[in-house]
Every structure is written in C-alpha cells, then in structure tokens.
Amino acid sequence: MNRAAERIAWLDAAKGLGIVLVVFGHVLRGTASAGIVPLTSPAFQWSDFGVYTFHMPLFFVLAGWTVQYSLSKGPANFLRGKIPTVIYPYFLWSLIQGGIQLLLPGAGNNAFTIDNLTGMLLVPIGQFWFLYTLMACHIILAVWGQLLRFSLWILIAAGLMVMVVLEVVRPIEITLWPTLMIRVIIFYLLGVEISRRIATPSASLPVTALVAIAFVAAVIAAFYLGERRIESIWAMPAGALGLTLLILIATRLKGRALDLFTRLGEYSLSIYVMHIICAVGARVILSKILHITDPAVHILVGVGIGIGAPIIAHLVLKRFSLLPWAGLAAPKKRPQIAT
C-alpha cells in the first residue's frame, strides 16, 4: 500500500471508530434521559464522561488534518467549497430533524419549539453544533492563517488561556457553549499544525499501551478535578490522549477490521446527521410499543439502528445519485468543454 492510500485508510478507519463512539454516546445519554439507564449509575457516569472527553475532538483533529489540499486553492475557494459540504447539510438536516421534533413532540426527551428552529443561525440544533462549529473553524483558519498569515499557535495558546480563565471564573450561564466551541477549535487547529509535520502517525504496541494507560489516568483526574465537565480545562489532556489512542488503533487495523471501520468512516457524515432520528425511533418502538425496558437491549438496538439505518439511506441516495442533494457528498464537477 502506498503512502497516500495508507493515509486515507487510517483517516477513514479513525472516523469509523469515532462515529461508533458518537452513536454509542448519544444512545447512552438518550436512554439515561428517558429513565431507562439510571443517571446516578457509576457505569453510566464513567462511560459517558470517558467517551465525551475525546470523541468529538477526534473529528475536529481529523478535519484540521485534511484541509491542506483545499486550503492550497486560496481562502476564497476554500470557504466557497464548504458551502455544499458544511453549510448546506447544516441547514438541511437541522430543518429535517427539527421538523420531525415539532411534528412528534413526544418522541424525544427534550422540549423543542419553533424558536429553536428559527434560531439555528445563532444556536445550532442538537448534534448539528458540529457542522456549525466546523464552519467557524474553517473561517478562522482561512482568515487568521491565510489572509493575515499569523501563526495558529498564537490562537491555540490564546484559546487555552481563555479556558483557564473560564475555569477559574466559571460564569455558569455562559461557560458551557463558548468553552466547548473554544475546546474543539483548539483541537482543529492542532490537527492543521500536526498534519504539516506528520503524514501518517504510528507508534509501537508498547507506546500505544502507554497512551491507553495515560488516557485512563487523565479521565480519572478530569472526572474529579473537573467535576465531570467535559468543557473543563482538566478534560483537555484526556481529550488529547483519547483521540491519539484511537488514531493509533486505527493505524494498526488490518484485514477485515480495517475494511469495516474504513467503510464506516466513509459513511460517517450520513450516520452523524441521521443517527439521532433513527436511534430515537428505535427507542420509542422498544419502550412504547414493545414495552422493553432492558438497558442493554436499548443500547444495542439503538446503536445498531443508529448506524445501520443511515447506511441504508446513504446507499439508496447514492443509487439514485442524490447524495449531493442530501448534503452528504460534494457535487460532481462539470466537465470542462474544450474550446
């Protein structure tokens, strides 16, 4: 396997591993909010906190890792290219999921109103905060790094300083959302900088094991010192170590495991935008129609449907060449006619 192909493989595999954790995390929280899994359960608290420290930072690091080619086309073309792949799916799927939540208000755990739908320009709906913040990352990179040509390390250091200040001051009403945004923007910028120095990450098995041990220790420290807040500065080391561990695992995958997670990585955007709708639907059927309350069944079925149903939808849309219309693939470039 050549170097370019290997890089694509580990990136897709890392996305595949990450999207499984994203679906698991959302299904776990959904079952807990529905009262199926006890919120006070140590198993829930540790699993929830551990996964949330790094599963979204992973995607921001990978997004930063892969911008170099499109960024080389210039800031204007770079940002223009994000309209069909970030901005359009953000609005489309926010409207779809928000519309379903308005039509079926009893299906979800959280109240949803028309104000949430009309206010998505300023406050993203549900999991679509990822696309919202990702676009902010692209804009920051294009303006700060390309137009102004300032070092990204200045922004990374400034972001960490702001997180430290917010950790000390902790104005409860404003801390969560801004700090979460700052947190993932830092990881995105780190991904950009690291990609300029490392093409394909790798480490020996003993080093990977040490990273795993360090990650567990960092999660324990953040759990207590940061009071179970993923937006805490204390959770940053756990996030960095967790995503590093997952990337190193992705680079070590071979055979069927590599094929499986690479394929899941290719479907990751489709899974991300649809999994909440599918998983909530599965939970409603299990609990309200089949009257099943076993937490393990809810989690297994929720994760399975949350991954499987979007893949089926992706394949159907692909079959009819509708992926670009659904915001799940970049539109094909029209062939240039020679003159």
Report the Cα 189 to chain-centroid distance in Å.
15
DSSP assignment, residue 328? S
Per-residue pLDDT, 115: 81
Domain ranges of the chain: 3-319
Per-residue pLDDT, 172: 55
pLDDT band at 146 (very low <50, low <70, confident <90, very high): confident
84 pLDDT higher than 80 = yes
d(CA 211, CA 217) in angstroms, rounded, equals 10
User: Quick one: which of 134, 133, 120 has its CA closest to 91?
Assistant: 120
C-alpha Rg value of the chain to the nearest Å: 20
Per-residue pLDDT, 147: 76
Residue 262's CB is within 10 A of a number of other CB atoms, namely 20
pLDDT band at 116 (very low <50, low <70, confident <90, very high): confident
Average pLDDT score over residue span 200-219: 95
Instruction: Please spell the DSSP secondary structure of 29-57, one letter per residue.
Output: HHHHHTTSS-TT-HHHHHHHHHHHTTHHH
298 pLDDT higher than 50 = yes
Per-residue pLDDT, 70: 86
Average pLDDT score over residue span 248-274: 96
Phi, psi of 24 (to 5 degrees): -60, -45
pTM of the model: 0.92
SS3 329: coil
pLDDT band at 269 (very low <50, low <70, confident <90, very high): very high
pLDDT band at 2 (very low <50, low <70, confident <90, very high): very low
Mean pLDDT of the chain: 90
Q: Where are the beta strands (DSSP E) in the chain?
A: none
Per-residue pLDDT, 326: 96
User: Quick one: which of 192, 190, 243 has its CA closest to 214?
Assistant: 243
User: Quick one: which of 317, 312, 306 has its CA closest to 274?
Assistant: 306
C-alpha angle 93-97-100 in degrees, rounded to nearest 5: 140
108 pLDDT higher than 70 = no
Q: 34-54, pLDDT tens digit by residue?
A: 999 998 999 999 999 999 999
Of the CA atoms within 13 Å of residue 137, those in its CB half-sphere come to 32
User: Quick one: which of 286, 312, 313 has its CA closest to 299?
Assistant: 286
pLDDT band at 339 (very low <50, low <70, confident <90, very high): very low
User: Quick one: which of 260, 219, 169, 265 has its CA closest to 53?
Assistant: 219
